Structure 1
């Protein structure tokens, strides 16, 4: 990102999202979350693809608390989840260990149904 800025280029949603995915792909959830914060600080608001990507990073690294928190933030910012967002959260349901995680999963499923998506 710094190199892009040095040559006068401004990173867009896609560049930020790719960086989040790369960082998360190496298992660095905290780094991916920091990139999301830096994106906001740069004045670029995350979109549904960005949120879905960071949620995927959290789910793949079994950080369900952060995944659910990001889903809630997404809705707070009035960013409408898409089918990929819902599937990303629900696909990990077999890994949920606590009753709270199962309840959150059920709430997400119900939200998905209200939004008109069917499985």
Structure 2
């Protein structure tokens, strides 16, 4: 089954099965998963660390760098999904709730309230 054919719950099950088959569940505490998530996010950031904004916008044009970006994105998502599973957090529900709060906190400004781009 292709990963693109799986839903969020399916991916979480697959990650849990992968960890269980290797007896890694004992290491998958919220603290350890949060730390691993931070490390993987830092590894993603490392790819962009010394690039100019223009270079960073073209990073996917280089096949080797694009592969590294995709791998780090996968690692970040994997640890986030495992973290959410351990704490019984639905990531899509959490994101929707956060977006709703941000829409209230940061209302769209009318044209007269927006800064002049000049």
TM-score greater than 0.5 by the shorter chain: no
- Which structure is higher in helix share? 2
* Higher RCO (CA 8 Å, separation ≥ 6 residues): 2
With the length of structure 1 as denominator, give the TM-score of the two structures: 0.30
With the length of structure 2 as denominator, give the TM-score of the two structures: 0.30
Instruction: Determine which structure has more spread, i.e. the larger CA radius of gyration.
Output: 2
